[in-house]
Structure 1
């Protein structure tokens, strides 16, 4: 099995990646397909656009519980991000995102998928 390092812009953290002979790759223990599948990285909160923030308010009790959990054991499930032309859009993980904001954490673990402007338009409907 070959191993290599996934390098990302300096504002992001690097995670070890390993590839197997069957074409699969593993990033931080999560599956990432070699054909444009998701990649797990830490993104700065201020680089994530939240187009769906206008739809509803977060449950303050759930945010508080997540804050406590994140402080104790860290974020367990990354938020989903759609990357379109170098811009990162968040469509899930609203409570986790707010918990990170309220804790003053500069970054959040994200599962990034690449998309097109058409994909983004579909998500904004």
Structure 2
């Protein structure tokens, strides 16, 4: 083997090594990016699951309170205090469980099953 052939072989090996190093680097970056995205999705899913569980628990409490036969209607301030939310969030939970506000606009809420909307038109005639 001549020195020129050895030099060509060495250049080819170096060139191949650079290619493989670059390829491995790109593959590593792609895998790292995918794992980061998947990791963030999993974390967000767990956070959302916890929030859904809390929302469901709050809605169950509201439904129990509004189903109590001792009370026809409940004040929004009482409902909000019991579930630990502000009034706006409480209203969102109430709508989710099929509750409605009183037509008198007095801050009272009840389940639609106990206070159907058709009764509003009957009472206002």
Identify the TM-score tier after normalising by the shorter chain.
Answer: under 0.3
Report the structure, 1 or 2, having the larger helix content.
2
Q: Which has the higher strand share?
A: 1
Which structure is higher in RCO with an 8 Å CA cutoff and minimum separation 6?
1
- In the superposition, the TM-score normalised over structure 1's length comes to 0.24
If the length of structure 2 is used for normalisation, what is the TM-score? Answer: 0.24
Q: Which has the larger radius of gyration?
A: 2
